[in-house]
Amino acid sequence: MMIAALVTPLVVAKLHFNAVPNAVAEIIVGIIIGQTGLNLVHTTSNLTFLSSLGVIILMFLSGMEINFDLFSRSARSKGDKQIAPTTLAALAFVGVVAVAAGLGFALHVAGLFSDIFLAIILFSTIALGIVIAALKEQELLSKPIGQTILLTAVLGEVVPLLALTIYASINGGHAGRIWLIILIFVAAIILLRRFKAVYRFFANIDKSTTQLDIRLAFFLIFVLVTVAERVGAENILGAFLAGMVMKLLRPSELTRDKLTSIGYGFFIPIFFIMTGAKLNLRTLLADPQAAMLIPLFFACFIAAKIVPYFVFRLRYKQTNALAAAFLTSTTITLVLPTLQVARNLHAITEQQAGAFTLAAVLTAICSPIIFNRLYKPEPEDVRKTEVTFVGTNLLTIPVAQKLPHALYDVHMVTDSEKNYHTYNSQATDVRLLDSMTEATLAQAGVFDTEVLVLGYRDGEVNYQLAEAAVARKVPRIIARFERDLSDERIDLLAHKGVEIFNSYNVNVSLMRGLIETPSTLRLLTDTEAGLYEVAVRNHRYTGIALQSLPNITGITISRIYRAGKFVAPHGDTLIEPNDHLIFTGDKAAARELQRELGKMN
C-alpha cells in the first residue's frame, strides 16, 4: 500500500499525465494491485481503519476549502448590472437537483436502480477539491465565472452531504432522531466561539514540538465526528463541519499546508487506493447488466449538470458556459463516501456501487480536460486597488496623477466648483458634489472603496467623514489634519485604525532623511530602482518560499508586513495570502512582480 502511495504520483509525473487528478490515479492503481489486477492488497482491519480516517480527513479538508468571503460580500462589482454569481450558482444547483430527480425516477421506472433519493444525492454531487484545483490553474477563483463555478461546487458538496445524513438516519432506523442532527451544528458553533478568541494566542506560544494548530485541528475533527456518530448522523458530516470551523478560525497558510501534507501525504491516498482495490471489475464486467450501468451512470452524471449551462449562458459566453457546466459534472469526492454509507445500509449492490465508482472516475478524468480545452481565457488584468480622494487641491491632485494607472483605479470628489473646473482635466475621474456630508458621499458611493483619502481642506470635515468611514468599515482610511484638530481627537482616530497625514510632519521627516540617510531618500525617489510594495492576492504563490518566486533575480525583499506585524524575510520564508512584500529592484522586474503577485486568484 505504501509503495503504491509513493510510486503513483511519480509515475503520473513521469508519463506526463498531469491532466489526471491524483485521486483518480490512486483509484486506478488500487484497481491494478487489488482484486481486479494483481491481488496484492486485501482488506484488513488496519487498512479499513486507515481508509476510514482518510475519508474523514478528506471531508475535513473539503470543509476548509469553502471561501466564506463569497457569501459575506457582494459578488457584484460597482456598476455591474449583470446577474450576481451567487444568484447564478443557486439557480444552477436547483436545476441540477431537478434533473437529478428526473434521472433517478427514470432509472427507477426502467428497473435499473430502485432508490430514487440515493440517485438524486449521487447525481447532484460535485467534487469541490478538483473544481478548485482546475480554477486555480486557470487563475479564475476571483473572477465572476470562477466564483460562479466555485459556489455551485460548494452547494454540490454541502447540500448532498446534508441529504446523505438525513437519508442514512431514515434508512438506518434513526428517523426519530433526525432532529438531533442540529446538535452537531450547535457543537460546531460552540467550538468556533470558544477557540476564536484564543486561536491567535496559540501562534504566540506555539513551538515546533507542540504544533498547537495541528492538535486543535484533530481535536475539532474527533469531537465533531464523535458528536455526529452519537446522534445517529454520518461521521463525514462532523468532519466536514470541523473543516468549516477551522476555516473560520482563519488559520495561516502554513497551517493549511501542514494539514494538507498530513492528509494527502498519508491517510487520503490509502482511502483512494483501497477504493480501487475493493473493486472487482472482472465480476462487474462479466455481468452484462452491470457493465451497461457504467456508461449509463456516466451519462447521468453529465446530464444532471445540463441546466448550469443554460444558467451560465445568462452572463457568460457560450464556450465558457459549456466549459463551466462540464467542470461542475466532475464528481468523485462525495460519491465514494456516499457509496460506502449505502453499502453499510445494504441499499445498493456491489455491482451498482462499482458502476457508480467507475462512472465517477470517468467524470473526474474527462470533465477537467474538457474544461481546459473549451475555456477561452480573457486578457488577464491585474486587479486594481480602488482609491477615492475626498477633496481636489494642490496636495491630492499630484498624488492621484503619480499613482500607476495599471495598479490603481483612482476617483476624486469635491464640492468646490472652482476646483472642479481647475482640476477636472488633470485627473481621470473627478466628480462635483453638492456638499461634503456623510449622506451625500454615501449616495455617491464614496465609501465603497478600498482606500479612502480624506484630503479636504477642513480638518473638522475630515474628522466627521473618518468617523463615518470607520463605522462603514472602509478597509483603509487616510485622513489629512493640518494642526486644526486637537491631539486627543486625532489619537482617537488613530486608535480606530485611521492613518493620519500631516504636511508639517512629512516635511520634517523628509528634511531629516536628506541629512541622515540621503541614499535611502534617493532610493525612494529613484525612477529606475525604487521601493515597491505588493499585496499577495495570487494564491498560486501562497505557501511557497520567497526564493521560488518568478523573476526574483534582481529583486531584494526587505520586509514582509503580515497581520499587522513586520516579518524579516529569508529565502525559505513561506508566503501567506495578503502578505505585503516590500522590496527594491529594477523597475521593470519590480512592476512585473507586482502584476504577477497582485492578480486575484
Share above pLDDT 70 across residues of the chain, in percent, rounded to a whole number: 89
CB of 583 closer than 8 Å to CB of 532: yes
User: What's the residue count for the chain?
Assistant: 601
Could you tell me which residue, 230 or 526, shows the higher pLDDT? 230
DSSP string, 85-117: HHHHHHHHHHHHHHHHHHHHHHHHHHTS---HH
Beta-carbon contacts of residue 549 (< 8 Å; ≥ 6 apart): 541, 555, 575, 593, 597
Helix (H) or strand (E) holding 596: helix 587-598
pLDDT at 142 > cutoff 80: no
CA distance 465 to 478: 11
Mean pLDDT of 26-33: 90
- Sheet-wide strand order for 531-535: 531-535, 580-585, 555-562, 565-567
Question: pLDDT grade, residue 524 (50/70/90)?
Answer: low
C-alpha cell at 496: 480606530
Q: How far is CA 254 from CA 14, 189, 247, 289, in A?
A: 28, 24, 13, 49
pLDDT at 547 > cutoff 90: no
pLDDT at 456 > cutoff 60: yes
For the CA atoms of the chain, what is the radius of gyration? Answer: 28
Question: pLDDT grade, residue 71 (50/70/90)?
Answer: low
H-assigned helices in 15-143: 22-33, 45-64, 69-72, 85-110, 116-124, 128-137
DSSP string, 436-502: --HHHHHHTTTTSSSEEEE--S-HHHHHHHHHHHHHTT-SEEEEE--S-S-HHHHHHHHHTTPEEE-
Question: pLDDT grade, residue 600 (50/70/90)?
Answer: low
**Matching residue, cell 500631516:** 502
- DSSP symbol at 431: E
CB of 459 closer than 8 Å to CB of 484: yes
Residue 499 β-bridge partners: 478
Could you tell me which residue, 237 or 299, shows the higher pLDDT? 299
Mean pLDDT of 283-305: 88
Mean pLDDT of 101-115: 92
> HSE-up of 408 (CA within 13 Å, CB side)?
20
CA distance 387 to 446: 10
Mean pLDDT of 269-277: 89
- The pLDDT assigned to 381 comes to 42
Q: Which domains are seen in the chain, by residue range?
A: 2-70+86-374 (1.20.1530.20), 385-510 (3.40.50.720), 528-598 (3.30.70.1450)
Q: Where are the beta strands (DSSP E) in 125-256?
A: none
CA distance 306 to 328: 10
pTM for the model: 0.66
pLDDT at 98 > cutoff 90: yes
- The pLDDT assigned to 74 comes to 43
CA distance 271 to 27: 9
Output phi, psi for 569, to 5 deg: -85, 155
- The pLDDT assigned to 50 comes to 93
Task: Output the CA angle 241-63-102, nearest 5 degrees.
Answer: 95
Q: How far is CA 526 from CA 554, 581, 592, in A?
A: 16, 19, 18
pLDDT at 282 > cutoff 80: yes
- The pLDDT assigned to 325 comes to 94
Could you tell me which residue, 152 or 207, shows the higher pLDDT? 152
- The pLDDT assigned to 75 comes to 42
Residue 532 β-bridge partners: 583
pLDDT at 139 > cutoff 80: no
pLDDT at 309 > cutoff 90: yes
C-alpha cell at 217: 485541528
| Predicted confidence (pLDDT) per residue in 477-522, tens digit | 999 887 767 778 888 888 888 888 887 777 777 677 667 766 665 6
CA distance 294 to 274: 20
Name the 3-class secondary structure at 545: strand
What is the residue type of 107?
L
- The pLDDT assigned to 77 comes to 45
Lowest mean pLDDT among 165-179, 249-263, 464-478: 165-179
pLDDT at 7 > cutoff 50: yes
| Predicted confidence (pLDDT) per residue in 421-448, tens digit | 887 777 778 898 888 888 999 988 899 9
Mean pLDDT of 401-416: 84
Lowest mean pLDDT among 196-200, 391-395, 548-552, 584-588: 196-200
H helices then E strands: how many in the chain?
Answer: 28, 10
Name the 3-class secondary structure at 534: strand
Task: Output the CA angle 409-414-417, nearest 5 degrees.
Answer: 130
- The pLDDT assigned to 291 comes to 84
Mean pLDDT of the chain: 83
Question: What's the maximum distance between 2 C-alpha atoms anywhere in the chain?
Answer: 89
| Predicted confidence (pLDDT) per residue in 247-272, tens digit | 888 887 778 888 888 998 899 899 88
CB of 127 closer than 8 Å to CB of 364: yes
- The pLDDT assigned to 85 comes to 84
Q: Which of 132-146, 320-334, 522-536 reaches the highest mean pLDDT?
A: 320-334
Q: Which of 411, 463, 465, 410 is nearest to 436 (CA)?
A: 465
Mean pLDDT of 212-220: 89
